[in-house]
Amino acid sequence: MSRRICVVTGSRAEYGLLYWLMKGIAEDPTLELQIIATGMHLSPEFGLTYRAIEADGFGIAAKVEMLMSSDSPVGVAKSIGLGVGGIAEALDRLAPDMVILLGDRFEILAAAQAAMVTRVPIVHLGGGDIGSGTYDNISRHCITKMASVHFVTHEDARRRVIQLGERSDNVFCFGATSVDNVLKIPLLSKVELQRDLGIDFENVILLSTFHPLTMGDISAEKQLSTLLSALDAIHHELRCSIIFTKSNADNGGRALNQILEGHVKTHSYCHLFDSLGQTRYLSVMKQASAVVGNSSSGLYEAPYLGTPTVDIGTRQEGRAAPTSVIRCRAEEDDIRQAIRKALAFDFSGVEMIYGDGNASNRILEKLKELKDLPALANKTFTVIGA
């Protein structure tokens, strides 16, 4: 009988990080892939990206609507509640042997709670990282404590997961699956991107994504306005084109997207996309002169594509990054100086710290080796040194 492996995905970015692992599961005759699509995948506002999953040849076993029209703290809390109920019902029907969850978003927190209570062993990718400015940091550690098997991206992350009381023999450091995408996906050329997007790629291109801050009293809207002012100033210096992708569905994300929509209407050199899709996004990143914003893709993928990153503010603070990531405060002068530094950055000697692009294959082989799956759901706390 095939081992049933369920993957829950709630966003375009997360699906991209899971693609090669999902493909490996689907192609293995000893395994059965089940996909639960939820969150932003099912929202017209965020591009109905479940269609990209289907276009890639995957069947979706369950679609769980959970995203409220409100992205206020109460709206997000209600979305989590809807997600727990809907995903629990899907897991009960699908009866998987394990569930794979990646990252720290609230959709994944809901999936972890549903799996824990329905006693489905959880395999978690991306635990042990740290950040700031969002409750994702807390969610990530909570998911770690509900999960039984852990695949981390960096040795620092491995130590943190073990510090949280997880068994060291169930924590594996195989690198980031995002690097698999960078090294395996055939990317589009400048000519193809120009035809596809209607943007002149002979200019200096800046790729920007700015996500909300969900903790503290820092205004993400004010920070985005500051970023836009800095980008305007850089455009006047260099006559560059700026490609924005929309913010995610965290608290305040819609307000940021409204600001971007208004800005793009009055600035012809700016372009905004709901979702570029994985291939186009990485292709634009490869051709861009720099990535500017606060997305984790600037830390994980951009260095492997030879593109420098300007990481703004605190959202990614504390997360390990190569030297091609230039961190700055969310202040206009700092952003402008960081962009100039990025545009002159020399990539020689940059150490790639997130693996060699074979993480998905290693994870797949380890999943096939796991024994006594029902017992994995019986979590214990391991005391270091005991």
Smallest Cα–Cα separation from 260: which of 239, 240, 244? 244
Q: How confident is the model at residue 92 (pLDDT cuts 50, 70, 90)?
A: very high
240 touches 341 (CB < 8 A): no
Q: How confident is the model at residue 386 (pLDDT cuts 50, 70, 90)?
A: low
Smallest Cα–Cα separation from 294: which of 262, 318, 263? 318
Residue 385 reports pLDDT greater than 70: no
* pLDDT value of residue 336: 97
How far apart CA 262 and CA 51 sit, in angstroms, is 27
Architecture of domain 3-174+358-376: 3-Layer(aba) Sandwich (3.40)
* pLDDT value of residue 252: 73
- Outline which parts of the chain fall under CATH 3.40.50.2000: 3-174+358-376, 187-343
Burial environment of residue 69 by CB neighbours within 10 A (0 to 12, 13 to 18, 19 or more): exposed
* pLDDT value of residue 217: 62
How far apart CA 53 and CA 355 sit, in angstroms, is 25
At 227, list the tokens.
């970023």
* pLDDT average, residue stretch 48-68: 94
Compute CA 120 distance to the chain's CA centroid, rounded to the nearest angstrom: 23
* pLDDT average, residue stretch 249-262: 85
Strands (DSSP E) found in the chain: 3-9, 31-38, 62-64, 98-102, 122-125, 149-152, 171-173, 205-209, 241-245, 270-273, 290-293, 309-312, 325-328
Phi, psi of 82 (to 5 degrees): -60, -40
* pLDDT average, residue stretch 124-130: 93
Q: DSSP letter string over 317-334?
A: TTS---TTEEEE-SSHHH
Compute CA 300 distance to the chain's CA centroid, rounded to the nearest angstrom: 10
Separation in Å, CA 247 to CA 12, 18, 143: 11, 20, 23
* pLDDT value of residue 47: 83
How far apart CA 80 and CA 110 sit, in angstroms, is 5
What mean pLDDT, rounded, does the chain reach?
93
Helix 278-287 to helix 190-197 angle, to the nearest 10 degrees?
120
Scanning the structure block, which residue is given the tokens 């980031």? Answer: 176
Q: Which residues pair with 3 in a beta bridge?
A: 31
User: At the top level of CATH, which class does the domain 187-343 belong to?
Assistant: alpha beta
- What whole-number percentage of the chain has pLDDT above 90? 77
Q: How confident is the model at residue 215 (pLDDT cuts 50, 70, 90)?
A: low
* pLDDT average, residue stretch 175-190: 94
Give the list of residues 6+ apart from residue 107 with CB closer than 8 angstroms, or none.
8, 10, 11, 38, 39, 40, 66, 79, 83
Residue 71 reports pLDDT greater than 80: no
Burial environment of residue 225 by CB neighbours within 10 A (0 to 12, 13 to 18, 19 or more): middle
Q: How confident is the model at residue 133 (pLDDT cuts 50, 70, 90)?
A: low
226 touches 335 (CB < 8 A): yes
Compute CA 151 distance to the chain's CA centroid, rounded to the nearest angstrom: 15
pTM listed for this prediction? 0.88
For residue range 5-27, what is the model confidence (pLDDT) as tens digits?
999 999 988 898 999 999 999 99
* pLDDT value of residue 279: 92
| Rg, the chain, Cα only | 20
Burial environment of residue 83 by CB neighbours within 10 A (0 to 12, 13 to 18, 19 or more): buried
CB atoms near residue 44 (< 10 Å) = 7
Smallest Cα–Cα separation from 311: which of 243, 209, 215? 209
